[in-house]
Amino acid sequence: MYSMEFVVFKMFIIALSLMGSVVNSKETSEFKLPTNFKPVSYRLDVTTHLDDKFMFEGVVDIKMTCIEATDTIVLHSYSLDIDTKSVVVANGGENVVPVGSVAFDPKKELMYVKSTENFKPGDEYVLTIPFTGNITDDLVGYYKSSYVDNENNQTRWLAVTQFEPADARRAFPCFDEPAYKATFKIRLGHKKGYTSISNMKMMKQTPIPSQPDYVFDEFEESVPMSTYLVAYMVSDFAYIESDTRDDEVKFRIIARKDAADQTELAKNAGPLVLKYYEDYFDEKFPLSKQDMVAIPDFSAGAMENWGLVTYRETALLIDPDVATIDNVHRVAEVIAHELAHQWFGNLVTMKWWTDLWLNEGFATYVAARGVDFLYPEWNSFQIETVQNFLRVLDLDSLQSSHPVSVAVGHPDEIAQIFDTISYTKGSFLLHMMNTFLGEDTFKQGIRNYINKHKFSNAEQDDLWNSLTEEAHRQGTLDKNLTVKLIMDTWTLQTGYPVLKVIRDYSADTVTLSQERFLTFKSNGSDNKSCWWIPLTMTTSMEADFNQTKAKSWLNCENNNLTIPLAKDNEWVIYNMQMAGLFRVLYDTRNWMGIVSTLNDPNEYDTIHTLNRVQLIDDSFSFSQIGDLDYGITFQLLNYLKHEKEYAPWLAALGGLGPINNLLKRTPNQGLFQNYMQRMLSAVYSRFRDMTVELNSFEEIRFKNLVTAEACRHRIKDCTEQALDLFSKWMKTTDPDKNNILPRELKPVIYCQAIKYGGVDEWDFLWERYQRSNVGSEKAKLLSALGCSSETWLLNRYLNWSLDNSIIRKQDAISVFYSVARSDIGFYVAKDFLYRKIADISEYFQPRGDRVGSYVKAIGSQMKTKEELDEIQSFINRSSSYLKGADLTTKQTIETVKINTEWTTKFDHKIINHLV
């Protein structure tokens, strides 16, 4: 699954954290099914009623083997109506086994079918359960979505599934855990005039005698798969086929017929990426077809259902006339992510959600390679590495973060670990392994793992074993070491290390040690944690940053390592090209040597781009916790006046963001604004003209970044250009067809026009939103409408966000973020959250984790003792509305404490460096 949380929060400047930790997880087994039965196959009939009553009816036959003697079958069922008298168990399909009782435990989402006699180990049984249920608008289970047909202006309905992580049980009774793989034979009943699709190819259509207007579509039997990957949809969508040879997988892109012209990129990219993965994994895609569907209402970014991948419209559709390069990148990235899951997740599935990162970390890592394959000229793999590195180090420095491999019990907990740790940290750790094992060993180890566990389930240790065997075979890892020994230190404990580098300039030595990096040291430093750190380094004399493969390790037995270092080295730098996930803290003299080289316009680029990124980010972080004087950080930042590359600027502006955040709404905000104007002046002049369009991926992103910052910090020319261009656009005839704004800078221009405009500008942009047929454009417009300085407009906008008939439920959080991030909007959004928490909670049921995003958006901007008390009090009195969001709220409180401590300690010191 491609998580929307982090797509949205990436746009939200001040993120210190992105989702919660898992704490005091109840014993997992309490919420897991007993192991008495193993399902073998399902026969599932579902008839869908749209247009009138929005409900479904069906029957499921589950063939299963008895493993241990018992008199009770326990499986999952939730929110379904089941006539208990019609539940039947047969032995061998013929002899009916007497059912004594059928009971339900709604809290645990379980169904119990108790017999009057014992089931026998080794025997096969068939459990038949008829059921009915409502097609809700909850965006989970089997739910409804709608769109307006442009031809006749009528609302059209569709029904589609979203079962990950644990919502198949809302659509049919089943063994709803990833380890219970089985085959599925699905028949979908629907009214004539609609079409249906499922994981497999359709075989035939037959009439339903009892319902003359209805037909049954029967699909091929599936390969063995987990219930969370089962998918089906009933709609009147259009089908666009890719050009494929006879022997290749048949690809179809499916969407509203009004959006069929936005499928070209997906139609071309899908088959190319699938073929790339077949080669990369050395394993053919096991199905004959692959459908990719754009859904108007969708809670995540996308979902990797086998043979039927579902997407939010913004993640699959591209209108070439309006799409920005970021839109193209995102669609390519999400397609690559979901298709990577066909191997990692679908073919080989984690045994339990503890190892979710095996799915999501891998899909994120391999997707970056897939995009690099599609667009080699973009250099996107390096940019992805930078973004992942910065994002993980930020979030994972909190006490309340969680391990990559994390114990989960209740289904509420599962939803909360679809976060930056599982996705991004998981991905970066794979990048780190690839670097220290080498590409050949890593790739072959992965291939062996997939071949060994295909159509089955695996755990983290299975992956470690495959990689270790291959590394020993190829001689790329010392025979005394195992991947498990190294990597368990990275996946089973929370956080990451700081490598401390202290030089003894008289003895010509350097001493290395490690401890956990924490932004907020509540009980002193964490001395228990210890990692196997791959060591790579260079000096000012060598300046060779290409040796990224570790020659030695700092480990837990040898945590104080002293090695010789020639005295004439101005500096030593560790972690070549950010190959490892850790920060590096040098002594002051070494830092000053680095600062000196960076500030020399002829020498700064002798330090590799990726290491310049790490030096910038590390210096901010060490200054934030008091381990490095802010004076050194600001001296280092001076070098940016001659920095010409995007990635270091991304790191610098990202590091300055939290300072901006903490000085916002204070008397010193103006000082910071003046500092930013001076800092940006040279680089802004390079990109000043908004109407000049660039071609290279990095240059476009660079211009977008700099222009957004220039306008945010009120560089007059930036705002004037934006308002002038917007004013001209408002005066054009047919502004929907004639959007004269430079496409890459539309988000900046929209926001400036709404911020400095009034109701006319707001209404004009709202009308564009209502008329747009392009998902990515609608997302930009929604984000910009939150930039208003009119409090009544913002209040109305927030009220609209909780009305699904005005703004889709999937977009409500984006609207809240867009309001909360501005100076005025912060107060409006905070007041809205406090007043409307009951409504917000009810609106997002059953997804409590969504409500946590609202709290996080406000809390991450708070920075005083009074605000800490205020939000803590709000969380305490709203606890009943924050069920399922406890992990996020815990992290939010820690973030406010960090902000408060930082403000108390440092804001007066920082002021001296801004003048």
pLDDT tens across 41-85, in order?
999 999 999 987 999 999 999 999 999 999 999 999 999 999 999
Residues 514 and 379 in one domain: no
> What are the pLDDT digits (tens) for 504-553?
999 999 999 999 999 877 655 556 789 999 999 999 999 999 999 998 99
Q: 262: which DSSP letter?
A: G
The pLDDT assigned to 526 comes to: 54
Confidence grade of residue 9 (pLDDT, cut at 50, 70, 90) = very low
Q: Which amino acid is at 253?
A: I
Cα–Cα distance for residue pair 267/265, rounded to 1 Å? 5
CATH number of domain containing 463: 1.10.390.10
- Domain span at residue 579 reads 496-622
Element (H, E) at 531: none
Phi, psi (rounded to 5 degrees) for 542:
-90, -50
Residues 453 and 550 in one domain: no
Tokens standing for 328? 């193209």
Per the domain annotation, does 740 fall within a domain? no
Residues 566 and 504 in one domain: yes
Per DSSP, helices labelled H in 260-402 are 264-281, 325-341, 356-374, 380-395
The pLDDT assigned to 665 comes to: 86
Q: Is 360 annotated as a binding residue?
A: yes
> What are the pLDDT digits (tens) for 388-412?
999 999 889 888 788 888 887 776 7
Tell me which of 449, 475, 492 is where a domain ends: 492
Res 452 pLDDT > 90: yes
The pLDDT assigned to 3 comes to: 63
Res 416 pLDDT > 80: no
Q: Is 744 annotated as a binding residue?
A: no
Per the domain annotation, does 107 fall within a domain? yes
CATH number of domain containing 209: 2.60.40.1730
Contact 380, 370 (CB under 8 A): no
Residues 442 and 566 in one domain: no
Tell me which of 183, 218, 236 is where a domain ends: 236
The pLDDT assigned to 556 comes to: 82
For residues 875-899, average pLDDT: 88
For residues 408-424, average pLDDT: 76
Per the domain annotation, does 634 fall within a domain? no
Residues 440 and 554 in one domain: no
If one compares 445 and 847, the residue with the highest pLDDT of the two is: 445
Residues 409 and 501 in one domain: no
Q: Environment class of residue 88 by beta-carbon count within 10 Å: exposed (0-12), middle (13-18) or buried (19+)?
A: middle
CATH number of domain containing 577: 2.60.40.1910
Cα–Cα distance for residue pair 915/901, rounded to 1 Å? 23
Per the domain annotation, does 556 fall within a domain? yes
Residues 485 and 527 in one domain: no
The pTM (predicted TM-score) of the whole model is: 0.92
> What are the pLDDT digits (tens) for 259-293?
999 999 999 999 999 999 999 999 999 999 999 99
Q: Which amino acid is at 650?
A: L
Secondary structure (H, E, C), 626-644 = CCCCHHHHHHHHHHHHHCC
Q: Is 608 annotated as a binding residue?
A: no
Tokens standing for 695? 């071609």
Res 5 pLDDT > 50: no
Per DSSP, helices labelled H in 342-410 are 356-374, 380-395
Active site residues: 338
Residues 479 and 536 in one domain: no
Per the domain annotation, does 111 fall within a domain? yes
Cα–Cα distance for residue pair 378/364, rounded to 1 Å? 18
Q: Which has the minimum average pLDDT: 108-122, 414-428, 577-591, 864-878?
A: 414-428
For residues 813-834, average pLDDT: 96
Per the domain annotation, does 335 fall within a domain? no
> What are the pLDDT digits (tens) for 181-232?
999 999 999 999 999 999 999 999 999 998 999 999 999 999 999 999 999 9
Residues 231 and 88 in one domain: yes
Res 335 pLDDT > 90: yes
Residues 477 and 513 in one domain: no
Per the domain annotation, does 697 fall within a domain? no
Per the domain annotation, does 28 fall within a domain? no
The pLDDT assigned to 751 comes to: 97
Tokens standing for 90? 């047969």
Res 4 pLDDT > 90: no
Residues 109 and 173 in one domain: yes
Structurally, the chain folds into a number of domains equal to 4
Residues 107 and 222 in one domain: yes
Tell me which of 492, 523, 540 is where a domain ends: 492
Confidence grade of residue 462 (pLDDT, cut at 50, 70, 90) = very high
Q: 424: which DSSP letter?
A: I
The pLDDT assigned to 523 comes to: 58
Res 877 pLDDT > 80: yes
